[in-house]
Chain A
Amino acid sequence: AQTVTQSQPEMSVQEAETVTLSCTYDTSENNYYLFWYKQPPSRQMILVIRQEAYKQQNATENRFSVNFQKAAKSFSLKISDSQLGDTAMYFCAFTAYNTDKLIFGTGTRLQVFP
């Protein structure tokens, strides 16, 4: 069975600083996708970034980047130049190529301080 683990229940960072959120996963699949979703206090979960397992290059989206280590089954999210609007719950998620379902971690609550 696939699992996703986020070992940091809460993190905090000062505005303009960099923070890294950790995620590890377990799977026997070779083709899969990994995601980071953000859930602000307003509740709507929105996609931050995605990574295809077959791609060696780490995905980046503006201030957000990932460190994807396939052998170690690690998928961390780095937020650079943190902004107050980054305050949210962040979920790491996994899906195998041949399935519909997303498997989520327990989330990391990130607080950005001025």
Chain B
Amino acid sequence: EPEVTQTPSHQVTQMGQEVILRCVPISNHLYFYWYRQILGQKVEFLVSFYNNEISEKSEIFDDQFSVERPDGSNFTLKIRSTKLEDSAMYFCASSEASGGVETQYFGPGTRLLVL
């Protein structure tokens, strides 16, 4: 069964450094998402992406964050200058359509630790 994959599984970085989290969505999916889960808290929506554009973003997704689909398979989340509070599990998801019509399938996550 097709799966969403994410790399790396763990990332440790120093405050102020840039990080790029990578995701390979399911191949026939057109909508891509990033969520994060700070330890002990809810899973929170960050951004959705369709047709090479951001379609929706949350208040969390400020100028420090960016997303890109650099080629036909990868979907990346970049954090330009990491802060301690960016430490979280970051989940990528993909779906065939938006708005809940089609299920979002999640990757295993990348655990980011900012020191």
Contact = CB atoms under 8 A, between A and B. Distances in A.
Contacts of A100: 31, 33, 45, 48, 55-56, 98-99
A91 B91 CA distance: 14
Interface of B: 3, 31, 33, 35, 41-45, 48, 55-56, 58, 89, 91, 98-101, 103-109
Interface residues of A, number: 26
Given A100-B55, A104-B42, A35 B103 contact: yes
B106 A32 contact: no
A45 interface: yes
A33 interface: yes
A97 B99 contact: yes
Nearest to B107: A44
A32 B101 CA distance: 9
Nearest to B109: A43
Contacts of B41: 106
Given A96-B99, A96-B100, A100-B31, A105 B109 contact: no
A45 B91 contact: yes
B49 to A, nearest CB: 9
Contacts of B31: 100
15 contacts: A35-B103, A42-B108, A45-B91, A47-B105, A95-B99, A95-B100, A97-B100, A100-B33, A100-B98, A101-B33, A101-B58, A102-B43, A102-B100, A104-B44, A107-B42
A90 interface: no
A102 B105 contact: no
A15 B39 CA distance: 29
A103 B33 CA distance: 13
A91 B37 CA distance: 12
Contact of A47 (B43, B89, B103): B103
B71 to A, nearest CB: 22
